[in-house]
Amino acid sequence: MKKGVDWSLYSRFNTPDGSYTLLLPSKAESYHSVYGARTESLYVFIQNGLQTVNKRQVVVCETGFGTGLNALLTLEFAQLNGLILHYHACELFPIPAEMLPPPKFLNKNVFLSNAWLNIQNCSWNRTHNITSFFTLAKMEQSIAEFCPIKKADVWFHDAFSPKTQPEMWSAELFSHIGNHLAEGGCLVTYSAAGQVKRALREAGFTIERLPGPPRKKHMLRAFRRN
Ligand X SMILES: C[S@@+](CC[C@H](N)C(=O)[O-])C[C@H]1O[C@@H](n2cnc3c(N)ncnc32)[C@H](O)[C@@H]1O
Binds ligand X by CB under 6 A, chosen from 85, 143, 186, 220: 143
7 belongs to the binding site for ligand X (CB under 6 A): no
13 belongs to the binding site for ligand X (CB under 6 A): no
Beta carbon of residue 4, minimum distance to ligand X (angstroms, whole number): 12
160 belongs to the binding site for ligand X (CB under 6 A): yes
Beta carbon of residue 158, minimum distance to ligand X (angstroms, whole number): 4
66 belongs to the binding site for ligand X (CB under 6 A): yes
Query: Nearer Cβ to ligand X, position 206 or 221?
Result: 221
Separation between Cα atoms, residue 168 and residue 172, nearest integer Å: 9
First vs last C-alpha separation in the chain: 43
The binding track of 87-126 with respect to ligand X, each residue x by CB under 6 A or -, is ---xxxx---------------------------------
Query: Nearer Cβ to ligand X, position 153 or 158?
Result: 158
17 belongs to the binding site for ligand X (CB under 6 A): no
Query: Nearer Cβ to ligand X, position 73 or 83?
Result: 73
Q: 34-63: which residues touch ligand X (CB under 6 A)? A: 63
Separation between Cα atoms, residue 155 and residue 158, nearest integer Å: 9
Query: Nearer Cβ to ligand X, position 139 or 181?
Result: 139
Q: What SS3 class is residue 72?
A: helix
What is the full DSSP assignment across 182-203? EEEEEEEES---HHHHHHHHHT
Q: Which of 204, 212, 164 is nearest to 33 (CA)?
A: 212
Q: Which of 51, 45, 68, 46 is nearest to 115 (CA)?
A: 68
Separation between Cα atoms, residue 91 and residue 6, nearest integer Å: 16
Beta carbon of residue 161, minimum distance to ligand X (angstroms, whole number): 8
Separation between Cα atoms, residue 3 and residue 65, nearest integer Å: 17
Beta carbon of residue 202, minimum distance to ligand X (angstroms, whole number): 20
209 with 200: CB under 8 angstroms? no
Helix, strand, coil percentages (3-state) for the chain, rounded to 5, are 30, 30, 40
Size of the site for ligand X (CB under 6 A): 16
User: Site residues (CB under 6 A) for ligand X?
Assistant: 31, 63-64, 66-67, 69-70, 90-93, 142-143, 158-160
